[in-house]
Amino acid sequence: MKLLSTNDNYIPQLITLGCIMIFSLAVRSIALNCGADGFTAFGLFILSSLISTALFFAVQSILQDLFHLLIKFPKEERTVEKFDTFPKIQLSNYEQYRQDALLAKAEEEQNKINTVLSYTEKTLAPYVVESELSNLCTQISHFLSSDWKEEESREIKISSQLKSIDLMHFGWNIAQPFGKSRKEISTFLKYTFAHALADIEASTLQRKLTNTEGKFLIPLQENLSTESYSSS
């Protein structure tokens, strides 16, 4: 360890060494007064000086090490504490953002389904009895939320006023906002309106979903707006 690191350390050390010299001279003087010869008194002077100087530097070194330790330890402790707690805050925020995004997406999907169901009720009410319309809305809800299964499908009876082209347009209109494929739409229509579409192959339905040739009661729509088909 470097004992004299700055000029500020010189003055107190010189004062201390001066005190050591005075103490050693006092020891020499006492030895002479007690009858010791000059050589013995000088030896006691040198020995007292060396011992006192060694003790001074030893005590100074211990105090400096202790001082540096007390300053350094709290700083390291604060650094570790900051490192440990920072990631926990980030994880908590991430989970909250994720839950908010999932809830927003679910709410958006449900609003789209509600719009389709409202469109279904207003469009098919003149051609389907109330109980059948209710069953159809339930089936459509399962289909749009990817919870529909062919083996659990119920046939819906509709008025003969609606032709196959009307049902194809209807299927296209309700499924497009959810990105359903032509195959998915034609399969759903084939099972849901089995009697009305009994004479048409699924492949034909798939190919002619957006056909506009001939007369029809249900037109194609690019999108179903919430304003036009609100549940109120």
Is 180 inside a domain boundary? yes
Cα distance from N-terminal residue to C-terminal residue, the chain: 86
What pLDDT is recorded for position 223?
79
Of 87, 118, 137, the one marking the end of a domain is 87
- Do 69 and 119 fall into the same domain? no
What pLDDT is recorded for position 33?
80
Is 122 inside a domain boundary? yes
Is 212 inside a domain boundary? no
Helix (H) or strand (E) holding 94: helix 38-124
Report which of 174, 190, 177, 191 is spatially closest to residue 137, judged by C-alpha positions: 174
Residues 6+ apart with CB under 8 A from 124: 133, 136, 158, 170
- Do 74 and 143 fall into the same domain? no
What pLDDT is recorded for position 95?
84
- Do 76 and 136 fall into the same domain? no
Give me the DSSP letters along 30-93. HHHHTT--HHHHHHHHHHHHHHHHHHHHHHHHHHHHHHHHHHHHHHHHHHHHHHHHHHHHHHHH
- Do 135 and 192 fall into the same domain? yes
What pLDDT is recorded for position 208?
94
- What is the residue-level pLDDT of the chain in tens, covering all 232 positions? 444 445 556 677 777 777 877 877 777 778 778 877 877 777 777 887 788 777 877 877 887 778 777 777 655 555 545 555 555 555 568 888 888 898 988 888 899 999 999 999 999 999 999 999 999 999 999 999 888 888 888 999 999 999 999 999 999 999 999 999 999 999 999 999 999 999 999 999 999 999 999 999 999 998 786 556 655 4
- Do 53 and 114 fall into the same domain? no
Is 226 inside a domain boundary? no
Is 221 inside a domain boundary? no
Is 177 inside a domain boundary? yes
Amino acid at 69: L
- Do 127 and 194 fall into the same domain? yes
What pLDDT is recorded for position 4?
45
Please give the residue range of the domain that contains residue 154.
Answer: 109-207
- Do 36 and 77 fall into the same domain? yes
- Do 127 and 168 fall into the same domain? yes
- Do 81 and 129 fall into the same domain? no
**Residue 136 exposed, middle or buried by CB count within 10 Å (0-12, 13-18, 19+):** buried
For the chain, what is the domain count?
Answer: 2
Is 1 inside a domain boundary? no
- Do 70 and 158 fall into the same domain? no
Is 80 inside a domain boundary? yes
- Do 130 and 52 fall into the same domain? no
- Do 18 and 56 fall into the same domain? yes
Contact (CB, 8 A) for 190 and 205: yes
